[in-house]
Every structure is written in C-alpha cells, then in structure tokens.
Amino acid sequence: MRRILQTNALPKAIVFVLCLVPLGLLLWDGWHGQLGANPIEKIMRRTGDWVLYFLLLTLTMTPLRKTSAWRWPLRYRRLLGLFAFFYVILHFLNYLVLDQFFAWDEIVKDIVKRPYITVGFTALLLLIPLAVTSTDNMMRRLGRDWKKLHSLVYIIGVLAILHYLWLVKADNRTPLIYGALLLLLLLFRTPWFDRLWKLRRFQAGGQTVADRRL
C-alpha cells in the first residue's frame, strides 16, 4: 500500500474514477428517462459543459503549481486533458450518430455554414494530435517540439469558448464567465505574471529574513 501511495497510483485511480462520474450520471439519467423532452440536446449540452470544465481544470494545474508549494497539480494535468478529449469525442459522437445519424452531407454543410460548428470541429481536430502525443514516449521523441505542439491547447480553449458563445446566442452570461476564467488562466502564463510573481516571492522572502533577525 505504501508503494502504491508513493507512485501516486491510488490517487490517480481515484481521480480517474471521479472523471467518469459525469458520464455515469448521464447514463443513469438516460436509463431512467430523465433527459427531458429533447435528450439529444441534453446530452450535447452536458458533454459540452464537461469538455469546458476539463479544459479549464487542465489549464489551472500549471498556475496552481506556480503559485503554491504543491507538486501534485502537474501529476494530474495530463489525465484531465485526456478526459477533456474523451468528453469532446462523446460530444461529437452525439452530434454525428444521434443528431445527424451519419448524414455526412448535412454534417459538411453544418461545418461550412454554421460558425459555432466550424470552430467546434476545428477545436476537435486540434485536440487529436495533443491526445495522440500525450505519452511519455512521444514527449521524449518530440523534444522541444512537444511543448510547442501542446501550446495549441490555448487556441483550443478560445475556440471552445467561441463555440459555446455563438451557440447560445441570447443568454451569453455563462460562456462569458468561462471566457473570463480562460483569460485569467492565460494571463498566468505571460512573462509579465512570471516577473510579478518572482518579485512577490522575493519580497516575501526578504520580509521573512527580516522577521527572523528581529
């Protein structure tokens, strides 16, 4: 048991199971007929929401590590990112199978004519290489290019927000809140924030030394 805890296998297994809870609840509601009058739309909304949740959680891990002494956030970043991909696949499959029933002509028309579907489909395509190259082996093989490739997640986040914003049309408060959170998380990654945070830590360290001398 101690070895399991030291290798983080058990905590990761717990997080893995927790990430499946939204799917379990969705299946439960579907089995019991609790998805409302339009179950396809309900599935679309719920899977889409969880794509955004996992994207934002993934992007939160690095700032959380930088602003704290915790090391655990980086251990779960990849797992959370893969679940963002998992739920976007479910989101797309709901559209492909249940909504359009493999009507490829209509799907192509939607992608071309409806901007919110265009940006959503683009985000899906950009997520694929990130999921494929998420392994340690691919990280070693790509070297420095791996980080450049995975910086696409910032563009994907913007596209996901636009997809939601253009979809709802009328009440856009929720996607705007998500957009504000995304903007904040992106600001954490700017050189300006790095300099500000290092200055704050330096000042805090100097104050600590001064307190000890007193």
Question: What residue ranges do the domains of the chain occupy?
Answer: 39-202
Contact 92, 84 (CB under 8 A): no
Give percent of the chain above pLDDT 70: 87
Lowest mean pLDDT among 2-6, 70-74, 84-88, 145-149: 2-6
Contact 105, 125 (CB under 8 A): no
Reported as a single tens digit per residue, the pLDDT across 43-55 is 999 999 999 999 9
Read off the pLDDT of each residue in 164-182 and give the average, rounded to a whole number.
90
- pLDDT, residue 69, reads 74
- Give the contacts of 84 (CB within 8 A, at least 6 positions apart): 51, 54, 55, 58, 127
pLDDT at position 66 over 50: yes
Token digits of residue 149 = 């490739």
Model confidence, pTM: 0.86
Give percent of the chain above pLDDT 90: 70
- Least Cα distance to 51 among 140, 134, 157, 133 occurs for 157
Read off the pLDDT of each residue in 34-41 and give the average, rounded to a whole number.
93
pLDDT at position 197 over 70: no
- How many distinct helices (H) and strands (E) make up the chain? 11, 0
Q: What are phi and psi of 7, to 5 degrees?
A: -90, 0
Does the CA dihedral 8-13-14-15 come out positive or negative? positive
- pLDDT, residue 208, reads 47
Distances from the Cα of 6 to the Cαs of 18, 39, 107, 197, in angstroms? Answer: 20, 43, 48, 30
- pLDDT, residue 209, reads 40
